[in-house]
Amino acid sequence: MAEEEEGAGSRQALQRLQELVDGLYHFRDHYFESHSVEDAGRKQQDVMEEMQKTLQQMGETVTGCSQGRARALMLKGKALNVTPDYSPQAEELLAKAVKLDPELVEAWNQLGEAYWKKGDVAAAHTCFSGALGHRKNKVSLQNLSMVLRQLRTESPEQHAQNVVDSVRQAKQAVQMDVRDGRSWYVLGNAYLSLFFNTGQSPGISQQALSAYAQAEKVDPTASCNPDLHLNRATLHKYEENYTEALEGFSHAAALDPAWPEPRQRQQQLLDFLERLTSLLENKGKVKGKKLQSMLGSLRPAQLGPCGDGRYRGSSGQKVALEHQPLSAMRPGVNTGAVVLGRVLFSLTTDEKVPFTFGLADSEGPCVAVTVYNMVQSWGVLIGDSVAIPEPHLRHHHIQHQDKVSAA
């Protein structure tokens, strides 16, 4: 009878601990449901204060759990794990929990997160893999997907394989629960890594953007994740959707004012667009007579394989191209056309992708040319003649806050 009463008491105590920890995480994850974006700068401090209150309420209850001791330790460790910062105490409690009950999957997941915050990615990988060895679960799959992209490898090929495996783990997490926004968010990040590791394929970029959109659709709290907005803005930047990129960086900065990267990335893009607009308007600041000489010396012979029938299209078949002026190009892919111009300027950024330069011919304004997936040794110099077969033209009108650019 005494044992039954003790067991019932332990169950009630564990239920109370679970409710306290669930409430703490709900406060963190749903912070902006009860606070405005202007309060974002206070969020971490507010979560820390809520954690301290929760730990005080948990205090005596944890020591009262003679049965279910491992779970009680795990819940206290989870409470300490609620902030982005590493907690040695959380690691200690969670390590004890998995020793007491090696099949407690949630303890393995929380311990893995503690190691990850500590910077011990290999130990985190071991924890998440071990948890999956006990039971397949979406949290371990999500975390394993993220850790795989951070693991140190001995070769670029091994890292690329880890990124592919990261996508596979994230897909499994989504399949386990298609209503889990975090799984979709992790899948978006996995596709983002795959995009940059496999030659920036537009198809993979769209898969990442779709995953982020799905995360927001199934989980309203995903819209309050600054990392999601930063990563999506990065994709928009490479897709040359500049207004969306600037808005994403700005929103990420608003959601986490203490995080400098979104604001830095926003300013870098603004600086790039302002410099590019100025160079286009001034034709690279090339003086009048020199400009006339450069553009007047363009000849059909400079078309190279694009003008003598040797050019092969994306299908591999030879395509006869018609030389047309830049002013004749229309938005989209100009099939069957080739343009020829002189390089008037080049514009580099810290990221070096895409490579950007200004091109002009004798009949129209200077246009910006962006080149992706080029070999590192390739480049152009001012005055070089460049032929572009079947160019893809886009007009940009970028408006962000009080700044406007057109290209």
CATH number at residue 334: 2.40.50.550
Using CA atoms, how far apart are residues 149 and 126, in angstroms rounded to an integer? 14
The candidate with the shortest Cα–Cα distance to 135, out of 92, 104, 170, is 104
Phi-psi region of 181 (alpha: psi -120 to 50; beta: other; left: phi over 0): alpha
Phi-psi region of 401 (alpha: psi -120 to 50; beta: other; left: phi over 0): left
Q: Six-digit token pair at 271?
A: 């600086």
Using CA atoms, how far apart are residues 114 and 276, in angstroms rounded to an integer? 44
Using CA atoms, how far apart are residues 265 and 245, in angstroms rounded to an integer? 10
Predicted TM-score of the model (pTM) = 0.87
Q: Six-digit token pair at 12?
A: 């009630």
Buried-state track 183-214, b at ≥16 Cβ within 10 A, e below 16: bbbbbbbbbbbbbebeebeeebbebbbebbeb
Which of 230, 248, 274 corresponds to the end of one domain?
274
Same domain, 181 and 296: no
The count of other CB atoms within 10 Å of the CB of residue 33 is 11
Is 97 domain-assigned? Answer: yes
Same domain, 115 and 250: yes
pLDDT of residue 400: 72
Quick: pLDDT tens for 258-298.
999 999 999 999 999 999 999 999 999 999 889 999 998 99
Host domain of residue 353: 286-406
pLDDT along the chain (407 residues), means of 10: 55 91 95 92 95 90 66 96 96 96 96 97 96 96 97 91 97 97 97 89 92 95 94 93 95 95 95 93 90 90 85 81 93 93 88 84 89 79 93 86 58
Using CA atoms, how far apart are residues 349 and 379, in angstroms rounded to an integer? 14
Using CA atoms, how far apart are residues 305 and 318, in angstroms rounded to an integer? 11
pLDDT of residue 393: 93
Which of 243, 274, 305 corresponds to the end of one domain?
274
pLDDT of residue 1: 44
pLDDT of residue 24: 96
What is the dihedral angle through the alpha carbons of 83, 85, 89, 94, rounded to the nearest 10 degrees?
Answer: 70
